[in-house]
Amino acid sequence: MRVPVPLSEMLQGMKVQSRDEPCYLDAVMGRVEQVSKHDLRAAHNYERDGVPGKPCPEIELARRVQTEQQNFLLLPTPYEIHEYGIMERFCRTIEDGWMSERLFAAITGPGAFRRFRNESRKLGIDDDWAEYRLAALKQIAIQWCTDNEVEYVDDI
Protein backbone atom coordinates (compact mmCIF):
# COMPACT_ATOMS: atom_id res chain seq x y z
CA MET A 1 0.00 0.00 0.00
CA ARG A 2 1.26 3.45 -0.89
CA VAL A 3 1.41 6.34 1.55
CA PRO A 4 0.42 9.84 0.35
CA VAL A 5 3.46 12.04 -0.10
CA PRO A 6 3.57 15.57 1.32
CA LEU A 7 4.03 18.11 -1.49
CA SER A 8 6.54 19.97 0.70
CA GLU A 9 8.80 16.90 0.68
CA MET A 10 8.50 16.54 -3.08
CA LEU A 11 9.34 20.20 -3.64
CA GLN A 12 12.37 19.95 -1.36
CA GLY A 13 13.60 16.98 -3.40
CA MET A 14 12.95 18.80 -6.67
CA LYS A 15 14.99 21.78 -5.43
CA VAL A 16 18.04 19.90 -4.09
CA GLN A 17 18.49 17.26 -6.76
CA SER A 18 21.03 17.49 -9.53
CA ARG A 19 21.91 15.53 -12.63
CA ASP A 20 24.36 13.42 -10.60
CA GLU A 21 22.16 13.12 -7.50
CA PRO A 22 18.56 12.63 -8.57
CA CYS A 23 15.70 12.25 -6.11
CA TYR A 24 13.22 9.38 -6.03
CA LEU A 25 9.89 9.03 -4.34
CA ASP A 26 9.70 5.93 -2.18
CA ALA A 27 6.01 5.43 -2.94
CA VAL A 28 5.59 2.82 -0.21
CA MET A 29 6.92 5.05 2.56
CA GLY A 30 5.84 8.41 1.09
CA ARG A 31 9.39 9.77 1.41
CA VAL A 32 11.76 11.40 -1.04
CA GLU A 33 15.24 9.91 -1.21
CA GLN A 34 18.30 11.35 -2.95
CA VAL A 35 20.60 8.77 -4.46
CA SER A 36 23.85 9.63 -6.19
CA LYS A 37 24.75 8.02 -9.49
CA HIS A 38 28.00 6.99 -7.80
CA ASP A 39 26.01 5.00 -5.20
CA LEU A 40 23.87 3.44 -7.94
CA ARG A 41 27.03 2.25 -9.73
CA ALA A 42 28.50 1.01 -6.46
CA ALA A 43 25.29 -0.92 -5.69
CA HIS A 44 25.39 -2.52 -9.13
CA ASN A 45 29.03 -3.52 -8.61
CA TYR A 46 28.24 -4.78 -5.10
CA GLU A 47 25.59 -7.11 -6.51
CA ARG A 48 27.70 -8.16 -9.49
CA ASP A 49 30.85 -8.89 -7.49
CA GLY A 50 29.07 -10.60 -4.58
CA VAL A 51 30.82 -8.53 -1.92
CA PRO A 52 30.37 -10.13 1.52
CA GLY A 53 28.84 -8.25 4.44
CA LYS A 54 26.12 -5.70 4.75
CA PRO A 55 26.54 -2.59 2.57
CA CYS A 56 26.50 0.93 3.99
CA PRO A 57 23.05 2.62 4.16
CA GLU A 58 23.65 4.66 0.98
CA ILE A 59 24.49 1.54 -1.05
CA GLU A 60 21.56 -0.34 0.49
CA LEU A 61 19.19 2.44 -0.55
CA ALA A 62 20.68 2.46 -4.07
CA ARG A 63 20.16 -1.33 -4.25
CA ARG A 64 16.52 -0.87 -3.27
CA VAL A 65 16.07 1.81 -5.93
CA GLN A 66 17.43 -0.63 -8.52
CA THR A 67 15.57 -3.74 -7.40
CA GLU A 68 12.24 -2.16 -6.36
CA GLN A 69 11.77 0.10 -9.37
CA GLN A 70 7.98 -0.08 -9.10
CA ASN A 71 8.25 1.57 -5.64
CA PHE A 72 10.91 4.20 -6.44
CA LEU A 73 9.76 6.82 -8.89
CA LEU A 74 12.18 9.39 -10.30
CA LEU A 75 10.96 12.90 -9.45
CA PRO A 76 10.78 15.50 -12.21
CA THR A 77 14.35 16.22 -13.25
CA PRO A 78 15.89 19.70 -13.51
CA TYR A 79 15.48 19.34 -17.29
CA GLU A 80 11.74 18.65 -16.90
CA ILE A 81 11.32 21.46 -14.36
CA HIS A 82 13.03 23.96 -16.69
CA GLU A 83 13.63 26.70 -14.16
CA TYR A 84 14.71 29.12 -16.89
CA GLY A 85 11.23 28.85 -18.41
CA ILE A 86 9.71 29.59 -15.00
CA MET A 87 11.84 32.74 -14.79
CA GLU A 88 10.76 33.80 -18.29
CA ARG A 89 7.08 33.35 -17.42
CA PHE A 90 7.59 35.36 -14.23
CA CYS A 91 9.16 38.21 -16.23
CA ARG A 92 6.02 38.30 -18.39
CA THR A 93 3.82 38.75 -15.30
CA ILE A 94 5.55 42.00 -14.30
CA GLU A 95 3.31 44.86 -15.40
CA ASP A 96 5.92 47.60 -15.00
CA GLY A 97 7.65 47.61 -18.41
CA TRP A 98 10.95 48.94 -17.08
CA MET A 99 11.17 46.26 -14.37
CA SER A 100 10.19 43.54 -16.82
CA GLU A 101 12.91 44.64 -19.25
CA ARG A 102 15.50 44.61 -16.47
CA LEU A 103 14.54 41.05 -15.53
CA PHE A 104 14.59 39.88 -19.16
CA ALA A 105 18.04 41.45 -19.57
CA ALA A 106 19.20 39.61 -16.45
CA ILE A 107 18.27 36.20 -17.85
CA THR A 108 20.19 36.68 -21.09
CA GLY A 109 23.49 34.83 -21.40
CA PRO A 110 25.69 32.94 -18.93
CA GLY A 111 25.05 33.52 -15.24
CA ALA A 112 21.34 34.13 -15.84
CA PHE A 113 20.16 32.52 -12.59
CA ARG A 114 22.50 34.55 -10.39
CA ARG A 115 21.79 37.79 -12.23
CA PHE A 116 18.04 37.19 -12.12
CA ARG A 117 18.16 36.53 -8.37
CA ASN A 118 20.25 39.68 -7.80
CA GLU A 119 18.03 41.83 -10.03
CA SER A 120 14.82 40.64 -8.38
CA ARG A 121 16.34 41.62 -5.01
CA LYS A 122 17.36 45.05 -6.29
CA LEU A 123 13.87 45.63 -7.67
CA GLY A 124 12.30 44.53 -4.38
CA ILE A 125 10.30 41.71 -5.96
CA ASP A 126 12.25 38.74 -4.65
CA ASP A 127 9.30 37.72 -2.44
CA ASP A 128 7.03 37.83 -5.50
CA TRP A 129 9.53 35.66 -7.37
CA ALA A 130 9.75 33.16 -4.50
CA GLU A 131 5.95 32.90 -4.38
CA TYR A 132 5.68 32.50 -8.18
CA ARG A 133 8.45 29.87 -8.25
CA LEU A 134 6.84 27.91 -5.40
CA ALA A 135 3.47 27.92 -7.20
CA ALA A 136 5.11 26.76 -10.45
CA LEU A 137 7.02 23.93 -8.72
CA LYS A 138 3.89 22.92 -6.84
CA GLN A 139 1.96 22.68 -10.10
CA ILE A 140 4.70 20.53 -11.64
CA ALA A 141 4.65 18.25 -8.58
CA ILE A 142 0.85 17.90 -8.65
CA GLN A 143 0.89 17.08 -12.38
CA TRP A 144 3.66 14.52 -11.78
CA CYS A 145 1.62 12.91 -8.98
CA THR A 146 -1.43 12.74 -11.24
CA ASP A 147 0.57 11.26 -14.12
CA ASN A 148 2.15 8.65 -11.82
CA GLU A 149 -1.02 7.88 -9.84
CA VAL A 150 0.59 9.04 -6.61
CA GLU A 151 -1.57 10.40 -3.81
CA TYR A 152 -0.31 13.58 -2.22
CA VAL A 153 -1.02 15.81 0.75
CA ASP A 154 -1.10 19.54 -0.02
CA ASP A 155 0.80 20.81 3.00
CA ILE A 156 2.06 23.99 1.33
pLDDT attached to residue 3: 86
Alpha helices (runs of H) in the chain, residue ranges in sequence order? 7-16, 37-49, 57-67, 78-81, 83-93, 97-106, 112-122, 126-147
Cα gap 69→120, rounded to integer Å: 41
Report the distance separating Cα 73 and Cα 64, nearest Å: 12
pLDDT in tens, 10-60: 999 999 999 899 999 999 888 999 999 999 988 888 766 666 667 788 988
Report the pLDDT value the prediction gives residue 43, as an integer from 0 to 100. Answer: 85
Q: How confident is the model at residue 1 (pLDDT cuts 50, 70, 90)?
A: low
**Which residues, including other chains, have CB under 8 Å from residue 12's CB and lie 6 or more apart?**
32
* Model pLDDT, residue 47: 65
Q: For 77-129, how does the pLDDT look when each residue is reduced to its tens digit (9 = 90+)?
A: 999 999 999 999 999 999 999 999 999 999 999 999 999 999 999 999 999 99
In whole angstroms, give the CA distance from residue 144 to residue 149: 8
Confidence band of 136 (pLDDT split at 50, 70, 90): very high
Q: Where do the domains of the chain lie? A: 18-74, 79-144
